[in-house]
Amino acid sequence: MPSRRSLHRPPPAFAGAPSILRSASLGLAPRRTHSVPTWRELVRAQASGLVAANPFHVVTVALTRLYTFVVTEMAHAPSTSSGVITHPTAAWTTQPARSLLTDLEDRITGFRNLLRDYDNRYTQAFGAIFTTHSIKILKNAPQTPRMNAHVERLIPATRAECSNRLLFYNEQHQQWVLTQYAEDCNNSRSHRALQLRVPSGGPDVIPPPRRTKPPPH
């Protein structure tokens, strides 16, 4: 008859693969980096032709939520925002998609992928706008915002530097402010990832401001 201690011992299946390999004096199998790249390696390799998109909301003075559509380019980091609305629907997402293609103009041929989440507002009509220009839709896994880290980092930065410092009245006010903020980020701010150049592609390098010592008391 088995002892009381053996009855509470978990079966060997719950020991785990590392424990079984160690008991047999075997090491773990190495990761096959050349055959199966990680998500970070894939994004870095495809950054020149990758666009990320995601909606976010801002609360107005009247406690009304206004949603806007944010898009950023992985390689050059310029961002655009369009399509402010109070109640986003599946039909609403198609208008920012058309506006994005209009803003890209001739550069649309250089993009191959669009990264987005699994929001049900992205319908087949939204995907058809990009597939007609040979842009493939990539979906990040549910509840994994780090897979779309570029735009997920842009949204908190927009809140901290712009939307959290102002009081918005209506849709037109928010659209005008976010447009001005995007133009400032694209044309007047240097990025360390771009060797202190602006995302718009200008040849001028904007050096960071020098820190001056406070005057002695």
Decide if 205 contacts 193 (C-beta within 8 A).
no
The answer to whether residue 32 sits within a structural domain is no
Q: Cα dist. 51→12, 27, 45, 194 in Å?
A: 47, 40, 13, 17
Q: What is the CATH number for 187?
A: 3.30.420.10
The answer to whether residue 144 sits within a structural domain is yes
Residue segments in the chain with a per-residue pLDDT below the cut of 70: 1-17, 27-36, 76-83, 104-106, 193-194, 201-217
The answer to whether residue 215 sits within a structural domain is no
- What pLDDT is attached to residue 207? 57
* Collapsed DSSP state (helix, strand, coil) of residue 101: helix
The answer to whether residue 145 sits within a structural domain is yes
Give the chain's domain count: 1
The answer to whether residue 45 sits within a structural domain is yes
The answer to whether residue 211 sits within a structural domain is no
Decide if 60 contacts 168 (C-beta within 8 A).
yes
- What pLDDT is attached to residue 53? 83
Q: What is the pLDDT of residues 59-100, one digit of tens each?
A: 888 888 888 888 887 776 666 666 677 877 777 788 878 877
The answer to whether residue 11 sits within a structural domain is no
The answer to whether residue 138 sits within a structural domain is yes
- Residue-range definition of the domain harbouring residue 155: 39-194
Two structure tokens written together for 125: 């009509």
CA 93-94-98 angle, to 5 degrees, is 125
